[in-house]
Amino acid sequence: MENKVSAKAFTMSVLNGTAVGAVVVLIPGALLSELVKALMPFMPFLSTVSQGLSLSNSMMGLVCGTLVGLNFKFNPIQAASLGLATEFASGAIKFKNGVLVLSGTGDIINMMITTSLGAALILFIGNSLKAYSILLIPTILLAFVGYIGVLLLPYVAKITEIIGIGIEHLLNLQPLLMSILLAIIFGILIVSPITTVGIGLAISISGLGSGAANVGICATGFAFAILGWSVNSKGTCLAHFLGSPKISMPLAVKNPKILIPIICSDACSGAVACLFNVQGTPMSAGFGFSGLVGPINNLNLMPGGWNTMNILITTLVYAIAPIIFGFIFKIIFVDKMHLITAEDYRLNI
């Protein structure tokens, strides 16, 4: 028995489930990873907590698939089976010398493709399996949908690779222009299905390029929090920069116009990053404010390290400037020009 769902409703269910799932698994690491690393030499038992944080990241496929299932109002067996198939196809699971290894978050684009295929199959089957659902649904989704996702993974991963090659050419531009463009591009990518961490690692972006990319993500997170402050819960707003702005991916896809003040804030923040010669590594480039990975890496790389002046500069670049620009462009585009409204940033979680 086939259940009919409109194309728009189907797309938004996948986008919303994936966006929320991505933030759910990243939040624990964002809040605790750097703190745990700093305290581990004095508190060895925290190594277990660190392992849990890594595990959380690698469970993105499972969580995203399950939440997509809940968005479709699937029953527990269907939602859990969809999560299992998505995790299998995510790319976070690898087999080395016969040993199963969890590594990274996986490819979020492939997760969305797998969840879409699985959700479509579940909708097509409906409740026709009746009492046999618990036997057949998990088996069909893992062995059929999950396997298709695994086959697609190498080809889907090429999308990130191609984007990375394009971004790599920006590193040869004049520093100010490079910083502005990288801040804008990474600021937009963070609210797309593309993984910014994967891009940063793929092109080995470092130095000012990494710093500017990181600051652009910071600006996006703070701007979304500011623009949606009056219509979203405070926890949801904070999650944009403490966790990931990817939580607003469905809004950006549904109404790209809301990115105009975000892009302006990214550009200005990128210029500030260039002015203060902000630094970063390939790993820190795609994190933004999350877990303080960007600010901490900048402090570690700046001449003089963690001195008072460097801490003040880092605070200015990674928090104060993005917040100021967020308010400026909210006033311009929401309060004065009325190009967009606060309602455009409302998240239904």
Exposure letters 129-168 (e unless 16+ CB within 10 A, then b): eeeebeeebbebbbeebbebbbebbeebbeebeebbeebe
Q: What is the pTM of this model?
A: 0.84
pLDDT band at 3 (very low <50, low <70, confident <90, very high): low
**259-299 residue pLDDT tens:** 999 999 999 999 999 999 999 988 788 888 887 888 988 99
Mean pLDDT for the stretch of residues 229-248: 92
Token reading at 248: 């607003």
With beta carbons less than 8 A apart as the criterion, state whether 106 and 25 touch.
Answer: no
Please say if the pLDDT value at position 83 is more than 80. yes
Most confidently modeled of 5-9, 95-99, 201-205?
5-9
Please say if the pLDDT value at position 27 is more than 90. no
